[in-house]
A = this chain, B = another copy of it.
Amino acid sequence: MPETTPHPSRRAHERQSGPLEITAPHRDLLDQVLDNWSLQVLETLCERPSRFNDLSRAIPAVTNKSLTATLRRLERNGIVERLVLDSRPVAVEYRITELGKTMRDPVDALLLWSATHLPAIEAARAAYEDE
């Protein structure tokens, strides 16, 4: 062990607080994968593979442009896969990948947190407006 370091300050509080360190690549990744449309697409594809228009209908507020961009981005990151079915008029199916499935737990943890604490947060908002 190369360490009997005389400057333990840095290490010290990192240990105390555990992980939580945000570097650029991680921030990039989260930005590409946690946005509004991405989560809704993930939600839908976790339930069943879907075609483009299925997704469009499942997420009424999304436009073609945004849906396309979202799917491309998720595909590029290996979160969803795009399958061109050779049927008569072109059909394309999107499905979540194994890699994509690994997002579910952390995302669900987040949603669970949100569900659990939303009341407290709305109370905080109300209190804030009052003062």
Contacts and interface: CB of A to CB of B under 8 A. Distances in A.
A124 B69 CA distance: 17
Contacts of A34: 30, 34, 110
A11 B117 CA distance: 25
Say how many copies of this protein the assembly contains: 2
Q: How large is the interface on A (under 10, 10 to 19, 20 to 34, 35 or more residues)?
A: 35 or more
Contacts of A20: 42-43, 46, 104, 107-108, 111
Interface string A91-131: 00000000100111111111111111110111111011000
Nearest to A31: B36
Given A76-B125, A113-B105, A124-B99, A118 B26 contact: yes
6 contacts: A19-B111, A25-B122, A78-B123, A78-B128, A106-B109, A106-B110
Q: What are the 9 tightest A-B residue pairs by CB atom distance, in nearest-first order?
A: A78-B124, A106-B113, A106-B109, A26-B114, A76-B128, A106-B110, A109-B109, A13-B47, A17-B46
